């Protein structure tokens, strides 16, 4: 992977993820919906070009269009260098496209200011990396609650909602009894499960996952992919997972193939 996806440390200046999650759960909008409503992610005619020395430009994404709906689990496969990570980075709002549009939860990313884009990312986009990038000094529960703790505007009710949401998510992935442990006290599979539910804290509309199984053995990899599928349905996210492992495609609802920056469904 050449494109780097920065860790999600940006804070939502308007609303804490915990408050947003509590609101969505209370209002029932976290329910799965693959019925063809407005897409969680809509990409149109996306082009991404990088400067490429004497050759001019390298076109990493070439007229890519796709829609992802709530509650659906989509795999993105393709040869090395075909543009998979570039698509994730642009969909996450971390890299601006050369042209084309990316709309997440009804908001077009390129039309937003930097602050608005950061806010939207905090609320609506979860990103999971190849290696769990957990903070060594924090417990599993604290990793999940970090953004609300860093938010000076968070109320006591927000903090309580974040604690409750964190415990519910840790319980959902069978880690309630590990909530007080730091990353070095957890196994690789447990760390990846903490990483996954941390990305779900704000009940994002869109979950972008970059090769989540690359550091795991076969059995644990299958468990992580199954878990991502189950959480996609439970939480109602639209999940896009880059994978090299065709063995896990059966666990997804749909597979997209990328070749030379183009999607060949
Ligand atoms: N920051 C960058 N600057 C210049 N070229 C880049 C940059 N990031 C990626 N590229 C190029 O864009 C193309 C697509 O790269 P990308 O990382 O998206 O592919 P990928 O399908 O994710 O590959 P892999 O499976 O190996 O991770 C490649 O030719 C790559 O060399």
Segment 3-27 mean pLDDT: 39
Average pLDDT over residues 78-97: 95
In a mutational test of the pocket of ligand 1, which residue from 51, 60, 130, 211 has the highest number of ligand atoms less than 8 Å from its CB? 60
How do residues 118-148 score in pLDDT, each as one tens digit?
A: 999 989 999 998 878 899 999 999 999 998 8
pLDDT of residue 150 exceeding 80, the answer is yes
Angstrom distance (rounded) from CA 12 to CA 201:
13
In this prediction, residue 218 carries a pLDDT of 87
What is the Cα–Cα distance from 30 to 55, expressed in whole angstroms?
47
Task: Say if residue 27's pLDDT is above 50.
Answer: no
Residue 265: pLDDT band (50, 70, 90) is: low
Interval between CA 81 and ligand 1 midpoint (Å) = 5
Indicate the domain borders of the chain.
17-33+70-80+113-255
What's the gap in Å between 8 CA and the centre of ligand 1? Answer: 20
Q: What DSSP assignment string belongs to 179-207?
A: TT--GGGS-HHHHHHHHHHHHTTT--SEE
Cβ-Cβ contacts under 8 Å for 145 (sequence gap 6 or more): 18, 159, 162, 163, 166, 201
Percent of the chain with pLDDT over 70: 86
Instruction: Give the whole-angstrom CA distance, residue 26 versus residue 146.
Output: 22
Superfamily designation of domain 17-33+70-80+113-255: P-loop containing nucleotide triphosphate hydrolases (3.40.50.300)
Taking the centre of ligand 1 as the mean of its atom positions, its distance from the CA of residue 80, in whole angstroms, is: 8
The residue among 4, 6, 25, 7 whose CA lies nearest residue 201 is: 25
Is any atom of ligand 1 closer than 6 Å to the C-beta of 1?
A: yes
| Rounded distance from Cα 169 to ligand 1 centre (Å) | 33
- Residue 239 is given by DSSP the state E
Rounded to whole angstroms, the Cα distance separating 65 from 44 reads 4
**Whether the CB of 55 sits within 6 Å of ligand 1:** no
Does residue 121 have its Cβ closer than 6 Å to ligand 1? Answer: no
Q: How confident is the model at residue 220 (pLDDT cuts 50, 70, 90)?
A: confident
pLDDT band at 183, cuts 50/70/90?
A: very high
As beta bridge partners, residue 61 has 48
Q: Which of 124-133, 145-154, 199-208 has the highest mean pLDDT?
A: 199-208
Q: For position 4, what pLDDT does the model report?
A: 45
* Residue 142: predicted pLDDT: 96
- How large is the average pLDDT for residues 183-187? 95
The answer to whether the beta carbons of residues 64 and 46 sit under 8 Å apart is yes
Q: Which of 177, 213, 171, 206 is nearest to 192 (CA)?
A: 213
């Amino acid at each position: 992977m050449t494109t780097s996806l920065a860790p999600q440390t940006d804070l939502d200046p308007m609303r804490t993820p915990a408050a947003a999650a509590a609101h969505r759960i209370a209002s029932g909008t976290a329910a799965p919906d693959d019925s063809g409503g407005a897409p969680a992610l809509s990409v149109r005619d996306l082009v991404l070009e990088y400067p490429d020395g004497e050759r001019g430009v390298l076109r990493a994404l070439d007229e890519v269009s796709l829609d992802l709906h709530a509650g659906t689990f989509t795999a993105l496969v393709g040869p090395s260098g075909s543009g998979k990570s570039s698509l994730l980075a642009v969909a996450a709002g971390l890299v601006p496209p050369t042209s084309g549009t990316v709309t997440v939860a009804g908001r077009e990313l390129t039309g937003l200011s930097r602050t608005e884009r950061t806010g939207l990312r905090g609320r609506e986009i979860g990103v999971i990396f190849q290696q769990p990038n957990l903070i060594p000094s924090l417990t599993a529960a604290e990793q999940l609650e970090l953004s609300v703790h860093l938010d000076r505007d968070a109320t006591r009710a927000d903090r309580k909602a974040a604690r409750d949401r964190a415990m519910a998510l840790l319980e959902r992935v069978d880690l309630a009894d590990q909530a007080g442990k730091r990353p070095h006290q957890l196994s690789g599979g447990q760390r990846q499960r903490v990483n996954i539910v941390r990305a779900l804290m704000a009940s994002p509309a869109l979950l972008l996952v970059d090769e989540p199984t690359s550091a795991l053995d076969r059995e644990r990899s299958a468990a992580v992919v199954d878990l991502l599928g189950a959480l996609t349905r439970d939480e109602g996210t639209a999940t896009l997972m880059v994978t090299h492992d065709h063995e896990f495609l059966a666990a997804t609802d749909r597979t997209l193939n990328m070749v030379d920056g183009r999607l060949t469904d």
